[in-house]
Amino acid sequence: MFLGIGVVLVLLWLGGFLMFHTAGFLIHILLVFAVISFVFHFLRRNTTGTV
């Protein structure tokens, strides 16, 4: 779940950076959230049980 959110946020960041360069602050906030989402994904991956 966190990996999917992270991928979406990175794609939104890239799209926003290339299309809307004037909204730089908000775009970089998206990047920060994406990185946090990736970190949570890799930290929580070991706690979920797989069959």
pLDDT digits (tens, 9 = 90+) for 8-46: 888 887 877 777 666 667 777 878 888 888 888 888 866
Write down the domain spans for the chain.
2-45
With beta carbons less than 8 A apart as the criterion, state whether 16 and 27 touch.
yes
Q: How confident is the model at residue 2 (pLDDT cuts 50, 70, 90)?
A: confident
Could you tell me the pLDDT band of residue 6, with boundaries at 50, 70 and 90? confident
HEC string of the chain? CHHHHHHHHHHHHHHHHHHCHHHHHHHHHHHHHHHHHHHHHHHHHHHCCCC
CA angle 41, 29, 6 (to 5 degrees): 25
| pTM of this structure | 0.49
